[in-house]
Amino acid sequence: MTQPQQNPEVSLVPDRPVPQHIGIIMDGNGRWAKARGLPRQAGHRAGTKNIRRVLEEAVRLGIKVLTVYAFSTENWGRPQEEVKHLMWLISKSIQDELDELDANGVQIRHSGRMAGVNPQLQKDIRWAIERTRHNDRIILNVAFNYGGRAEIVDAVRHIIEDQVPPEEVDEALISSYLYTAGLPDPDLIIRTGGEYRLSNFLTWQAAYAEYYATPVFWPDFDEAELRRAVAVYQGRERRFGLVK
């Protein structure tokens, strides 16, 4: 796939709002590596490093929550060697980046299941969450071992366990039982890599999100590409099923 030319000059409209919560499906790491004659692992490493520059640009734009789709419940079906590398890469990223993220006011959250994740990585994730929980510059919500349908199933199970009367179950209650409880719903979902599907990402929360797809592979999705996506968002009219 030919990557489009990147243009750093992307202007936003000053009097139009920017999305407060952006979700990103970080797709195209493997194809990025293949196009360069590199192993898939090199693409995943480049994709992981790219999170920082996108996060920094999100702060500059005034975005308050960035949710990145790091590993889905379906990804366990990938080759074992690739899965092991991804687990190692996530653990290493926490070790290498946590000090700087904390110093820069980034609050880390996790959306997903801990079941099936190795105990050391679980410990790393919980430590990152606990250490940064008072930071308020931006929230980096990592969707790891995440599936939108699994999230809804878990929410329903917990509602049943808590013996909530049926007449009290509404959308607000279900939202309060999701992994993302306390976070605003995403305003914008970005998918890199040229695909046009949500892939079980924020299934409940993205009901009224704007959608933006780009052929740019995730490791090449830079500050200008994020601004381009936000500029497109600013040009949309959000009616939430109503009439303007």
Q: What is the pLDDT of residues 145-193, one digit of tens each?
A: 999 999 999 999 999 999 999 999 999 999 999 999 999 999 999 999 9
Confidence of residue 1 (pLDDT cuts 50, 70, 90): very low
What six digits make up the tokens of 242?
């109503």
Non-local CB neighbours of 240 within 8 Å, separated by 6+ positions:
208
What six digits make up the tokens of 42?
């090199």
Helix (H) or strand (E) holding 144: strand 138-146
Give tens-digit pLDDT for 100-126.
Answer: 999 999 999 999 999 999 999 999 999
| 27 is known as an active-site residue | yes
Contacts made by residues 91-97, CB under 8 angstroms, sequence distance 24+: 91/120, 91/121, 91/124, 93/48, 94/124, 94/125, 94/127, 94/128, 95/124, 97/52
| 118 is known as an active-site residue | no
Non-local CB neighbours of 62 within 8 Å, separated by 6+ positions:
18
As a whole number of angstroms, the distance between CA 66 and CA 211 comes to 15
Q: Looking at residue 243, what is its pLDDT? A: 67
Question: In degrees to the nearest 10, what's the CA dihedral of 202, 50, 82, 92?
Answer: -100
Neighbours of 170 (CB within 10 A): 8
Radius of gyration (Cα) for the chain, nearest Å? 18
Is the pLDDT at 47 greater than 50, yes or no? Answer: yes
Mean pLDDT of 202-216: 97
Instruction: Report which of 105, 72, 101, 71 is spatially closest to residue 88, judged by C-alpha positions.
Output: 71
As a whole number of angstroms, the distance between CA 162 and CA 154 comes to 12
Q: Looking at residue 241, what is its pLDDT? A: 67
Q: Which CATH number fits domain 21-147+215-232: 3.30.930.10, 3.40.640.10, 3.90.280.10, 3.40.1180.10?
A: 3.40.1180.10
As a whole number of angstroms, the distance between CA 101 and CA 98 comes to 5
Out of 29, 50, 75, 154, which one is annotated catalytic? 75
Q: Looking at residue 237, what is its pLDDT? A: 83
Neighbours of 94 (CB within 10 A): 18
Confidence of residue 13 (pLDDT cuts 50, 70, 90): confident
Is the pLDDT at 3 greater than 60, yes or no? Answer: no
Out of 27, 124, 187, 220, which one is annotated catalytic? 27
As a whole number of angstroms, the distance between CA 13 and CA 116 comes to 45
As a whole number of angstroms, the distance between CA 240 and CA 91 comes to 39
Mean pLDDT of 221-225: 97
Confidence of residue 23 (pLDDT cuts 50, 70, 90): very high
